[in-house]
Structure 1
Amino acid sequence: MTTDWQFDVPTAGSKHLPPDARYMEALSSQGYGFEVAIADLVDNSIDAGAKDVVIHFLRDGDELVSLLVVDDGKGMSEEELDVAMTVGGRRDYAANALGMFGTGLKSASLSHASAVTVVSTTKRTRTAGRRWLMERAVSGFQCDIVEPSYAQTLLDRYADRPIVWQGTVVRWDAVKDFPKHGGGGQTDRYLHRTINKLGLHLGLHLHRFLARDDFNITIAVEDVRTGTVYLDFGVEPLDPFAYPVSGHPDHPRRITAAVPSVGDVTLDAHIWTPKSNLDEYKAVGSVLDRQGFYFYRHDRLVQAGGWNNFRQPEQHLSLARIAIDLPDVPADVFRLTVKKAGVEASPEFTSALEKAVDGEGLTFLRYLAAAETVYREARKRSGTTRKAVLPPGKGFDPAVRETVADELPAIPYEDPISVRWQKLDTSVFFDIDREGRTIVLNQHYRAAILGGRRGGLNDAPMLKSLMYVLLHQVFEKEYSGSREKDNLQLWQSILVSAARAELDRVGDDD
């Protein structure tokens, strides 16, 4: 082995290697969630100085046809629109801009739609429009120029609100998540579920903007054929630190972590009110997801909960939340994901937390201990110490899993209980797979129990929750005694009779 080593790699010139057109496929496969993608578009509206943003679902009877995000921002000239529609297009971001990489509009849109059209106008320039059609984009980065008269027609559609003098419309067509067949109430159920999640996501991640008097987001649903407006409501801010009373009289506290690469980082350390049912507390995933760091970049929440490798989440820290405004120059200490849905923090930050302290000498570690104490004392005051359980897992609705996590401690280091449908003999309603830790429900009775609704992984939440309540202790014991076996047989008989009665009712309705 030779000992000489060149620290600089010698080169012999350079070669231009433009990306293959298939790069567009990679761009649209970055795992954008629906709510995250819409939030990325709203970020662009905020950067454009918008005061009013409308998220507009358009339907034709039972069929959802398009989704539009409309704003009254400063708009774009034709040249600016070309830059905006260019992948990684070079533009000068303002110091407090939410945009960063020049890919959000394209990657967020094409992750969920086969076509994205952008139409914009300013006070000084004529209306212009561009469209990315996925099949043309991947064949050679061919971006369509929207016919000017249609571009103006689309803007005129929103002339009363929100676009008065200037603004932008982003239109999605062939949205992949839209129900393929809207009959049987599928479209209504999709809209109810999707709009609820979207409102919570936007209300949480943009709560500092929504709390201002001059900024609004509206979600609306309209039938394009009849003009009927089914829904039109304003998104409310969901401040994850808006507890009515602090969980601890000495908090919140402002703690400082000295991080050599970026200087002092301020930690606003809060302790939530125990056993809160407010949306501001419960809107952030499970009890394990919602504790920890809440990172903001230019007032936009970019991470809601998590400990960033500082420690593992646990039930006893469910009331601990720390607000951190990222420094303008984060160096390599904080790295924001392209989707603005998380922050990667270097070991330099987590090491600084060990020594972080406030002006009165309270350390960050003592703050965590105080949050844990508040949680434990609240449990004691409730008069009950609940036994740890195996939690529900795959097949149970996330809301059910969250509630169980809130109410019951989990047996550590054990797999959860899952539930699934499977073909069984019609004489039984359920089976228990102890080794696989799974409750098996009889597929024969599924359609009757769902009452014609479409099935899915987390369907029948009421039934599955009741089965979990009945059976979780069976999995927590090594074997079933004679009394437990008799109970299982009793439940089996009652549930089979009830399921058959459901089948008879379906037959009578037919």
Structure 2
Amino acid sequence: MRDHELPPYAPALMESTRAIGYSIETAIADIVDNSITAMANKIEINFFPIGSPYLSILDNGIGMTKSELIEAMRYGSSNPLDTRGEEDLGRFGLGLKTASMSQCRKLTVISKKGETFSGAQWDLDHIARTTKWSLLLLAEEDFKAFPHVEQLKEMESGTLVIWQELDKVKEGTTNLSTIMGRYMDNVRKHLSLVFHRYINGEVGIQRVAIEINKLSVEAIDPFLTEKSTQVIDDEIINIDGQKVIVRPYLLPHISQLNESEISMLGGEDGIRKLQGFYVYRNKRLLIWGTWFRMMRKGDLSKLARVRIDIPNSLDSLWTLDIKKSMAIPPAIVQQNVASIIKRLGEVSKRTWTFRGRKEIDDDKIHIWNRLKTRDGGVLYEINRDHPLVEAISCNNKREIHNLFKHIERSLPLNQLYVDLTSDHKIVKDSELSEVDLIQMIKGLLSGCNNAKERQEMINKLSITEPFAQNTDLLEKMLQEAQ
């Protein structure tokens, strides 16, 4: 038995890797990964759909020497089993090439490190002619033919990636300008979400400014961190000496969100669809809006989000794919988060059930009672012990009782469910004003015969909605009534 070296046929392999499944937004995100790994804090994306169309990504990272650039242009430039730096967002050594060539037939990379400029190009048509792995190395006089090179020259260091002959983008359209504008809207949204922690400059990572045609990319925070509640403490899972950090969030009830916040979270329909896990690798979002089949996406769990931070040293356990668009949690993680998502789902359910409150205190007197029937059903009855109910039930008790029964049996439960689960913004009743509360308290106290009964009434109101949140007002009204 002897070895027989069988090198890959360049044209066939390079054409085949174009079908890995990148979209234009995931492809650009892969190039941005390289820029961040190169310690860039500014990344400029430009597209020009007229004449000789191109798309470019320019960063101010550390740049590459000629030998480093040649290595970076090699397919499989790094082994996925090798130990990587903690901030490295790559893995397979394929991203720059496969992502770029999935969208174009000509990839040019020009880099500056120190005073040295280097340039290299993969041209699929040239490779088809030569049938070899023919990487074109650019001379300095060749650089002037490419856009944005002058910007690169003004930087201390950096790298310029240029896509030309955008055949995949042009497929099926005769108006590249229009379709390219739509594609770049998707790119902007994608980068806003995937790199939101870098754009916001989270503690412990360098802030990165990203622009598309001179317009800043603003971060999309899927947890709406400033308004959401972290209802459960972080869970730290140790795997092979590495830490996986799990942080659950609960979004505010939709009635507490404004239109821009709803839009940022994906619109009314998106709030339901995007519930679930958000998996980050070195603070870069990999996959989101899934429960990994550990829990069904329900309408009452739509407010639940779980952030999972994994280090790049655990890539193999998460079945990370080349596009960095898929990551499946290992069994040890699934076991640890199962109880977390169950508790989070219950809290989310209560948030919807009780009109946006996070909790209901069992010792409070509410206007509605929730009762379970013998057959496992649920019904709602007006609480006959509520002070307001008692006050109007003193006369004509039978008629009042019949009215309440009719109200209880006529609740539009089906329509309420449809409205809640379709993410219509339910207009809450206006909060009772102090004048309204005073009038109600006066009416209740006027039915009391002496100071003792008035004190008992105030005590009861102090644990009764809607008076329980206004104990100072109750005490004031009691003093005035004495």
Partner residue in 2 for 1:194: 183
Letter of the 2:36 counterpart: I
- Whether contact under 8 Å (1:262, 1:331) holds in the other structure is no
Whole-Å Cα distance in 1 between the matches of residues 178 and 355 of structure 2?
38
Partner residue in 2 for 1:109: 100
Partner residue in 2 for 1:72: 60
User: Against the structure 1 CA distance between its residues 378 and 259, is the aligned structure 2 distance closer, same or farther, given a 3 Å change threshold?
Assistant: farther
Range moving further from structure 2, 187-196 or 157-166? 157-166
User: Against the structure 1 CA distance between its residues 350 and 234, is the aligned structure 2 distance closer, same or farther, given a 3 Å change threshold?
Assistant: same
Cα deviation for residue 29 of structure 1 reads 1.0
- Whether contact under 8 Å (1:259, 1:348) holds in the other structure is no
Question: Aligned ranges for residues 35-50 of structure 1 at < 5 Å?
Answer: 35-50=25-40
Whole-Å Cα distance in 2 between the matches of residues 245 and 40 of structure 1?
31
Whole-Å Cα distance in 1 between the matches of residues 90 and 252 of structure 2?
35
Q: Which has the higher contact order (CA 8 A, sep 6+)?
A: 2
Partner residue in 1 for 2:85: 94
Whole-Å Cα distance in 2 between the matches of residues 284 and 149 of structure 1?
54
Whole-Å Cα distance in 2 between the matches of residues 153 and 136 of structure 1?
18
Counterpart among 115, 136, 140 of residue 144 in structure 1: 136
Residue 372 of structure 1 pairs with residue 362 of structure 2:
no
Letter of the 1:116 counterpart: L
Partner residue in 2 for 1:52: 42
User: Against the structure 1 CA distance between its residues 265 and 283, is the aligned structure 2 distance closer, same or farther, given a 3 Å change threshold?
Assistant: farther
Residue 265 of structure 1 pairs with residue 265 of structure 2:
no
Whole-Å Cα distance in 1 between the matches of residues 103 and 312 of structure 2?
31
Whole-Å Cα distance in 2 between the matches of residues 135 and 318 of structure 1?
49
Partner residue in 2 for 1:311: 295
Counterpart among 271, 274, 291 of residue 275 in structure 2: 291
* Cα shift readout 1:466-493 (whole Å, capped 9, x = no counterpart): xxxxxxxxxxxxxxxxxxxxxxxxxxxx
Q: Say how many residue pairs are matched.
A: 356
User: Against the structure 1 CA distance between its residues 107 and 17, is the aligned structure 2 distance closer, same or farther, given a 3 Å change threshold?
Assistant: same
SS of alignment partner, residue 338 of structure 1: coil
SS of alignment partner, residue 345 of structure 1: coil
Cα deviation for residue 406 of structure 1 reads 4.1
Give the TM-score, by structure 1 length. 0.62
- Whether contact under 8 Å (1:70, 1:162) holds in the other structure is no
- Whether contact under 8 Å (1:53, 1:162) holds in the other structure is no
Whole-Å Cα distance in 2 between the matches of residues 25 and 387 of structure 1?
54
Cα deviation for residue 90 of structure 1 reads 3.4
Whole-Å Cα distance in 2 between the matches of residues 192 and 25 of structure 1?
26
SS of alignment partner, residue 343 of structure 1: coil
Range moving further from structure 2, 32-41 or 372-381? 372-381
Cα deviation for residue 335 of structure 1 reads 2.3
Whole-Å Cα distance in 2 between the matches of residues 404 and 133 of structure 1?
52
Give the TM-score, by structure 2 length. 0.66
- Whether contact under 8 Å (2:53, 2:165) holds in the other structure is yes
Partner residue in 1 for 2:323: 339
Cα deviation for residue 316 of structure 1 reads 2.1
SS of alignment partner, residue 350 of structure 2: helix
Whole-Å Cα distance in 1 between the matches of residues 308 and 153 of structure 2?
33
- Whether contact under 8 Å (2:30, 2:99) holds in the other structure is yes
Partner residue in 1 for 2:209: 216
* Cα shift readout 1:390-436 (whole Å, capped 9, x = no counterpart): xxxxxxxxxxxxx996459xxxxxxxxxxxxxxxxxxxxxxxxxxxx
User: Against the structure 1 CA distance between its residues 178 and 265, is the aligned structure 2 distance closer, same or farther, given a 3 Å change threshold?
Assistant: closer
User: Against the structure 1 CA distance between its residues 123 and 105, is the aligned structure 2 distance closer, same or farther, given a 3 Å change threshold?
Assistant: same
User: Against the structure 1 CA distance between its residues 210 and 163, is the aligned structure 2 distance closer, same or farther, given a 3 Å change threshold?
Assistant: farther
Residue 81 of structure 1 pairs with residue 73 of structure 2:
no
Whole-Å Cα distance in 1 between the matches of residues 36 and 269 of structure 2?
26
Cα deviation for residue 339 of structure 1 reads 0.7
Partner residue in 2 for 1:386: 415
SS of alignment partner, residue 27 of structure 1: helix
Whole-Å Cα distance in 1 between the matches of residues 153 and 276 of structure 2?
37
- Whether contact under 8 Å (2:276, 2:289) holds in the other structure is yes
Partner residue in 2 for 1:353: 337
Partner residue in 2 for 1:24: 14
Cα deviation for residue 295 of structure 1 reads 0.9
Consecutive unaligned residues in structure 1, runs of 5 or more = 1-11, 221-231, 356-362, 390-402, 409-510
User: Against the structure 1 CA distance between its residues 244 and 123, is the aligned structure 2 distance closer, same or farther, given a 3 Å change threshold?
Assistant: same
Cα deviation for residue 332 of structure 1 reads 4.7
Whole-Å Cα distance in 1 between the matches of residues 5 and 144 of structure 2?
39
Letter of the 1:120 counterpart: S
Partner residue in 2 for 1:237: 219
- Whether contact under 8 Å (2:197, 2:284) holds in the other structure is yes
